[in-house]
């Protein structure tokens, strides 16, 4: 292993050139004119893998292609699947960038360009670790597979079907992903859980058309007032969600998790001040950190009805609606919560208005077992590489690939977060801290060794 680590340090500059080369390709999946760039980015990555001993092939899908590469010559060792993506977000307003977003710039310790943090830099940390092993030991400590898609920024429409059709090809013991954020700049981080989501829309209708609020107000139900009542009924005075059965499957954080959380020294006042909210808020009995990570939510994402422009209009609106999403935590399932939500809304909707409920997607929560071997190996590898304790965090957002991998491949994921919280992914001047990528590659090299033992 010492040789492998030494190799990584020696090749640092050359590996940085790889990242720059890949970032120069504007593989923007949200814009059809970049179709050829998407393929170019995958071909560039395929060639890199193939050059260093991987079998690599681009697979066509219904949309953009994806890259699958493998080195599977360790029959007795476990198999790891690395997931990443080679596509990026558009640059957005070029005036907000200090330089061409596709012409990488190094400034102090930072690499600045589109894709530096999301996801090309962190993805290549895995390739660098594998290359280092192959160059120094002529073999990998584990069997290693790369699954690199190019539609992550457009919600991965073809990834699920590809995985379902290629379960044997992709079969593995562990999944490694570096596409999440670190808890703080320079603080090595493992994200071990994500929340699920159940996103619905309620629409209420009353009179056939908007009607005069003077002539008719008070004598017909107002869909906007009734909508407000339904929404208000969904939380109690302690900010708990009142849907019967909503919390039945919720697992409270274990004592071990509570210790990990305490180590984060989360500053509630600073958090609220940064967001601009006037005061902390949330479910009674939980900290702000728990509320955003380990507790389920119910938020109105949008509400509309009647006259919404400047000034005033004296109408009873014919219709009003709200987009409402619930974030879910283990062991809730999106299917259960969907059923409970619909049932509750139907019960609480008065007979004086008509109700329609729409669907805007769902995803189950995910939590990796903290005490499982790969998690402990990753902790050790990161601690050694960064010479610092690892932050263990649960992400409030949802990552559909995690429950999908678990379901299709029956494998848990280890999320090694290498992007700074200040990386500005999707925004102007996206950046990544190069020491984090270098130490990340070393940590991954160590992790492969520990998993292979």
The rounded distance, in Å, linking the Cα atoms of 403 and 368 is 10
Residue 236 burial (CB count, 10 A): 11
Which residue lies nearer to its own copies by CB, 47 or 267?
267
Determine the interface stretch with its own copies among 25-33, 148-156, 284-292, 369-377 (rule: CB under 8 A).
284-292
Beta strands 143-149 and 55-59: pairing type?
Answer: unpaired
The rounded distance, in Å, linking the Cα atoms of 448 and 378 is 9
The rounded distance, in Å, linking the Cα atoms of 110 and 409 is 36
Tokens (6 digits) for 28: 């923007």
Can you list the alpha helix ranges (DSSP code H) found in 138-287? 159-165, 167-170, 223-232, 255-262, 268-275
What's the DSSP call for residue 390? P
Q: Which residues, 314 to 333, sit near its own copies by CB under 8 A?
A: 314-318, 320, 322-323, 325, 327
Q: Give yes or no for residue 128 binding its own copies (CB under 8 A).
A: no
Tokens (6 digits) for 87: 């596509």
To its own copies, the closest distance from the beta carbon of 148 in angstroms equals: 24
Q: Which residues, 135 to 154, sit near its own copies by CB under 8 A?
A: none
The rounded distance, in Å, linking the Cα atoms of 403 and 448 is 23
Which residue lies nearer to its own copies by CB, 34 or 291?
291
The rounded distance, in Å, linking the Cα atoms of 142 and 6 is 20
Which residue lies nearer to its own copies by CB, 78 or 207?
207
Collapsed DSSP state (helix, strand, coil) of residue 310: coil
Residue from 355, 351, 376, 383 nearest 187 by CA? 383
Tokens (6 digits) for 381: 């590898």
To its own copies, the closest distance from the beta carbon of 124 in angstroms equals: 25
Q: Give yes or no for residue 212 binding its own copies (CB under 8 A).
A: yes
The rounded distance, in Å, linking the Cα atoms of 364 and 156 is 16
Say if CB 339 and CB 357 are below 8 A apart.
no
Q: Give yes or no for residue 361 binding its own copies (CB under 8 A).
A: yes
To its own copies, the closest distance from the beta carbon of 322 in angstroms equals: 7
To its own copies, the closest distance from the beta carbon of 121 in angstroms equals: 21
Determine the interface stretch with its own copies among 47-55, 182-190, 250-258, 276-284 (rule: CB under 8 A).
276-284
Q: Give yes or no for residue 313 binding its own copies (CB under 8 A).
A: yes
Residue from 201, 230, 244, 206 nearest 349 by CA? 230
To its own copies, the closest distance from the beta carbon of 245 in angstroms equals: 19
Q: Give yes or no for residue 201 binding its own copies (CB under 8 A).
A: yes
- Total residues contacting its own copies by CB under 8 A comes to 83
Residue from 303, 347, 353 nearest 324 by CA? 303
Which of 271, 336, 342, 428 binds its own copies (CB under 8 A)? It is 271
Which residue lies nearer to its own copies by CB, 20 or 240?
240
Which residue lies nearer to its own copies by CB, 151 or 283?
283
Which of 136, 171, 225, 424 binds its own copies (CB under 8 A)? It is 225
Site string for its own copies, 159-198 (x = CB under 8 A): ------------------------------------x-x-
Which of 278, 284, 371, 387 binds its own copies (CB under 8 A)? It is 278
Say if CB 254 and CB 394 are below 8 A apart.
no
Q: Which residues, 231 to 260, sit near its own copies by CB under 8 A?
A: 231-235
To its own copies, the closest distance from the beta carbon of 268 in angstroms equals: 9
Site string for its own copies, 362-391 (x = CB under 8 A): ------------------------------
Angle at 417 between CA 137 and CA 330, to 5 degrees: 120
Tokens (6 digits) for 345: 């809304």
Sign (positive or negative) of CA dihedral 242, 243, 245, 251: negative
Q: Give yes or no for residue 349 binding its own copies (CB under 8 A).
A: no
The rounded distance, in Å, linking the Cα atoms of 447 and 424 is 28
Q: Give yes or no for residue 338 binding its own copies (CB under 8 A).
A: no
Q: Give yes or no for residue 337 binding its own copies (CB under 8 A).
A: no
Q: Give yes or no for residue 106 binding its own copies (CB under 8 A).
A: no
Map tokens 């407000």 to a residue.
228
Which residue lies nearer to its own copies by CB, 20 or 295?
295
Which residue lies nearer to its own copies by CB, 79 or 156?
156
Q: Give yes or no for residue 284 binding its own copies (CB under 8 A).
A: no
Which of 282, 333, 336, 408 binds its own copies (CB under 8 A)? It is 282
Q: Which residues, 393 to 452, sit near its own copies by CB under 8 A?
A: 395-398
The rounded distance, in Å, linking the Cα atoms of 3 and 14 is 17
Q: Give yes or no for residue 296 binding its own copies (CB under 8 A).
A: yes
Cis bond leading into 131, ω under 30°? Answer: no
């Amino acid at each position: 292993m010492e040789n492998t680590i030494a190799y990584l340090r020696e090749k640092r500059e050359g590996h940085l050139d790889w990242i720059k080369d890949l970032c120069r390709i504007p593989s923007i999946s949200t814009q059809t004119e970049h179709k050829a760039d998407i393929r170019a980015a995958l071909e560039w990555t395929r060639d890199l893998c193939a050059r260093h001993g991987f079998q690599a092939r681009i697979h066509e899908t219904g949309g953009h292609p994806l890259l699958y590469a493998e080195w599977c010559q360790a029959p007795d060792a476990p198999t790891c699947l690395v997931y990443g993506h080679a596509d990026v977000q558009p640059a957005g307003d070029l005036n907000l960038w200090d330089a061409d977003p596709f012409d990488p710039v190094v400034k102090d310790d930072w690499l600045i360009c589109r894709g530096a943090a999301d996801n090309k830099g962190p993805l290549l940390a895995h390739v660098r670790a594998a290359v280092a092993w192959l160059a120094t030991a002529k073999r990998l400590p584990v069997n290693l597979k790369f699954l690199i898609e190019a539609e992550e920024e457009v919600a991965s429409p073809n990834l699920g079907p590809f995985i379902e059709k290629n379960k044997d090809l992709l079969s593995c013991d562990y999944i490694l992903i570096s596409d999440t954020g670190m808890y703080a700049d320079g603080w090595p981080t493992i994200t071990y859980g994500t929340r699920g989501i159940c996103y619905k829309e309620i629409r209420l209708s009353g009179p056939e058309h908007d009607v005069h609020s003077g002539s008719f107000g008070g004598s017909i139900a107002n869909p906007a007032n009734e909508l407000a009542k339904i929404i208000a009924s969904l939380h109690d005075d302690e900010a708990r969600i009142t849907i019967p059965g909503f919390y039945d499957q919720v697992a409270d954080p274990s004592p071990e998790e509570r210790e990990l959380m305490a180590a984060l020294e989360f500053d509630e006042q600073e958090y609220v001040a940064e967001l601009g909210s006037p005061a902390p808020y949330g479910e009674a009995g939980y900290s702000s950190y728990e509320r955003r990570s380990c507790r389920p939510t119910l938020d109105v994402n949008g509400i509309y009805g009647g006259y919404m422009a400047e000034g005033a209009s004296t109408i009873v609106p014919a219709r009003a609606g709200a987009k409402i999403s619930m974030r879910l935590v283990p062991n809730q399932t999106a299917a259960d919560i969907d059923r409970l939500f619909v049932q509750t809304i139907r019960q609480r909707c008065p007979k004086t208005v008509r109700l329609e409920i729409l669907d805007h997607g769902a995803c189950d929560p995910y939590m990796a077992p903290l005490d499982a071997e790969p998690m402990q190996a990753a902790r050790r590898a990161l601690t050694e590489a960064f010479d610092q304790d690892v932050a263990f965090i649960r992400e409030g957002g949802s990552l559909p690939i995690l429950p999908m991998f678990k379901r299709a491949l029956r494998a848990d994921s280890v999320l090694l977060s290498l992007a700074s919280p200040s990386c500005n992914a999707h925004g102007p001047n996206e950046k990544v801290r190069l020491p984090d990528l270098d130490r990340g590659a070393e940590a991954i090299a160590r992790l492969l060794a520990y998993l292979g033992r």
